Structure 1
Amino acid sequence: MKTKLKAVAIRNLVKADTWIRWLGKTAKHIAVRSSSIETAHGLIPLRVYQPPGEGPFPVLVYYHGGGWVIGDLDVYDPLCRDLCDRSDCIVVAVEYRLAPEYPFPAAPEDCLAALKWTYEHIAQYGGLPNAIAVAGDSAGGNLAAVTTLQARECLPGVVKGQVLIYPVTDHYDPGTLSYIENANGPVLTRKLMMWFWDTYLLNSPQLEPGQTRHPRATPLMRSDLDSLPPTLLITAERDPLRDDGANFAARLSQHDNNVQYSLYAAASHGFVGLQGPNDHHNKAMSEISDWLTALFSA
């Protein structure tokens, strides 16, 4: 009960403090349509962001961050509008189920279902089903990476690329250098990241007591990282998750995958989107849009 109450309190705090900061500055000319996926577990809400013009457009499926515990379509509406506007891609934002109410593996199940829905239905929205990439930040970056791995087996060839923004790739290790250097933040702290992991895995129907790693939770520890689509991986210097991202980029490269890795000096966790427009955010948006343009024009 305490875990659930804390989760609700943090969700309310994020909505009150973070996303309102630049809500009024987002691209109002972007068309936004609501949809949902019917599953055995209930409906998964989606938002489809459409750029102006005739299309058809390439597609970016976006999984929001928030430690698998917080975040929703409203919190990430400004970022998804900005991504759609700058990249000239349709953006499909996914509101997957959150812990502790829905522990692992609810989130990766929902994210894979959203990718499948996108592939089957995006043509109705002016999208190209043969030009789909996935993206996400923080826990959403984890889910994007995990979804790409799942899709390699059950939806081969569908994911053309992945954009991973300071992704979580392994269970926390307090001895990791970036966890030590950035234990007290800014923004994300070591203590909060540890709580996110504990909450996500608590009461999981697929984990044994004390188990902290799983192929659909900790992609860094997988040995089968070959034959994956091109990756853009972005990290922040002042972030406990910096080494998660750097280590995953290195592992992907070791398996002969195409990886573009960028470390943003002096940036902190959340600099893409959640802190509003700033120099680091704008630079990252340009890098992402340029990378997507090159990906889909290849």
Structure 2
Amino acid sequence: MAPRPEVAAFLDGPGRALAFPDPPPEIGTAECAELLTRLRAPRPALPPTRSLWQVRDKAIEGPGGALTLRIYASGPPGGVGAAPGHGGGRPLLVYLHGGGWVMGDLAMHDATCRALAALADCVVLSVDYRLAPEHPHPAALDDTLAALAWARANAAALGVDATRIAVGGSSAGGNLAAAVALRMRDEAARAPARATAAPAPPPLAAQLLLYPVLDSRMATASITEFGAGHLLDRAQLAFYWDAYAPLATVDRTAPQLSPAHAATLAGLPPAVVLSAEHDPLRDEAEQYAARLRGDGVRVELRRARGQIHGFLALFQGDPEVERLLARVAADLVRLLG
């Protein structure tokens, strides 16, 4: 299937202005600093796409200093999303933005977070994690875990049900979400018996992986097919990996960097996985979904026909994108109960 007409028009027009230099600069050079400055330049503020009961920022103490969270609440405690017997708390989605671990911010994914909060009738907690290359792995992962721990400790004040917390994100944020799910599963398995100790925190209830990056090998057929001319290209992916996970200091095959390398996915929370047909990352998302299902994890997999990587942010407000967001939100609601 060819790209949707509006996608093709974007690639032939505005998308060209977003193209990376070919080849990308080496990490740490003056050219790299100039590129990062351009990528991180503030974008014009867009009007809110949806009105919510509450949208507010909260600064907490993170591993690297102040960590900003943006809280989106669809309504006061109680309501449609509240589970009987759980104090009227809504589900919570801890959301990690995309941007190759080197760019992106709370504003960039504001529309997506508003949509998920409204459509899933939940609270969304968007995390402004530290960026590479100034803060390489595991900084972003540590910030995510700190945000999750804060959310659990403050569940009552947030009006959420601590037993229905999901983690999710798009692109690099999807990588962080999958990595957090793996880390929490493994830590729970290693924990000693808690006969007299305080009870362990409840496991994650779901994971939401929106066109995630999951495999540092970059060897799938979709990377070969769509690795040039589709906004996100192979050289750009390699730049992101070099910035986030320098080969000299980390093992990129570790599951907390490349979740696709995990020996087993059994015991992970149920997942909603969204891929885009013309995305270099399509195959690793769909292969991960197949592995989850094969290891006994419930999975809702959707492929966005005719779309490219990052389409949720690029084409916000498009009726087809809105319909797909509604389906993804409904999938998440089913998993959260």
**Counterpart residue type for residue 121 of structure 2:** D
Do residues 131 (structure 1) and 164 (structure 2) align? yes
SS in 1 for 2:237: helix
Contact 2:52-2:72 at 8 Å conserved across structures: no
Q: If you compute each CA radius of gyration, which structure gives the higher value, 1 or 2?
A: 2
Do residues 188 (structure 1) and 232 (structure 2) align? yes
Q: Which of 216, 222, 226 does residue 171 from structure 1 map onto?
A: 216
**Counterpart residue type for residue 48 of structure 1:** I
Contact 1:104-1:204 at 8 Å conserved across structures: no
- Cross-structure match for 2:70: 47
- Cross-structure match for 1:284: 324
Query: Counterparts of 1:152-231 in structure 2 under 5 Å?
Result: 152=185, 153-154=187-188, 157-173=202-218, 175-202=219-246, 207=250, 211-231=251-271
Contact 2:53-2:76 at 8 Å conserved across structures: no
Do residues 105 (structure 1) and 138 (structure 2) align? yes
**Counterpart residue type for residue 148 of structure 2:** L
Give TM-score scaled by structure 1 length. Answer: 0.90
1:158-208 per-residue CA deviation (whole Å, 9 max, x = no partner) reads 3100110111110042x4211111122422122211111111113875x2x
Which contiguous aligned blocks of 4+ residues in structure 1 show a shift greater than 4 angstroms?
A: none
Question: Residues of 1 paired with 2:109 and 2:258: CA distance?
Answer: 24
Q: Aligned residue pairs: how many?
A: 286
Contact 1:273-1:281 at 8 Å conserved across structures: no
Give unpaired runs (5+ residues) of structure 2. Answer: 1-27, 79-88, 189-199
After superposition, the Cα gap between the structure-2 partners of 1:252 and 1:30, relative to the gap in structure 1 and judged at 3 Å, is same
After superposition, the Cα gap between the structure-2 partners of 1:125 and 1:38, relative to the gap in structure 1 and judged at 3 Å, is same
- Cross-structure match for 1:5: 34
After superposition, the Cα gap between the structure-2 partners of 1:221 and 1:203, relative to the gap in structure 1 and judged at 3 Å, is closer
1:249-274 per-residue CA deviation (whole Å, 9 max, x = no partner) reads 11112211111111111111111233
Query: Counterparts of 1:1-80 in structure 2 under 5 Å?
Result: 1-2=28-29, 3-12=32-41, 15-16=42-43, 20=45, 23-55=46-78, 56-80=89-113
- Cross-structure match for 1:232: 272
SS in 2 for 1:286: helix
Identity %: 37
Give TM-score scaled by structure 2 length. Answer: 0.80
Question: Residues of 1 paired with 2:248 and 2:172: CA distance?
Answer: 17
Contact 2:316-2:322 at 8 Å conserved across structures: no
SS in 2 for 1:158: coil
Aligned-pair RMSD on alpha carbons?
A: 1.9
SS in 2 for 1:159: coil
SS in 2 for 1:88: coil
Question: Residues of 1 paired with 2:157 and 2:67: CA distance?
Answer: 18
After superposition, the Cα gap between the structure-2 partners of 1:4 and 1:280, relative to the gap in structure 1 and judged at 3 Å, is farther
After superposition, the Cα gap between the structure-2 partners of 1:124 and 1:218, relative to the gap in structure 1 and judged at 3 Å, is same
Q: Which of 284, 294, 305 does residue 254 from structure 1 map onto?
A: 294
1:292: how far off? 2.3
Between structures 1 and 2, the one with greater strand share: 1
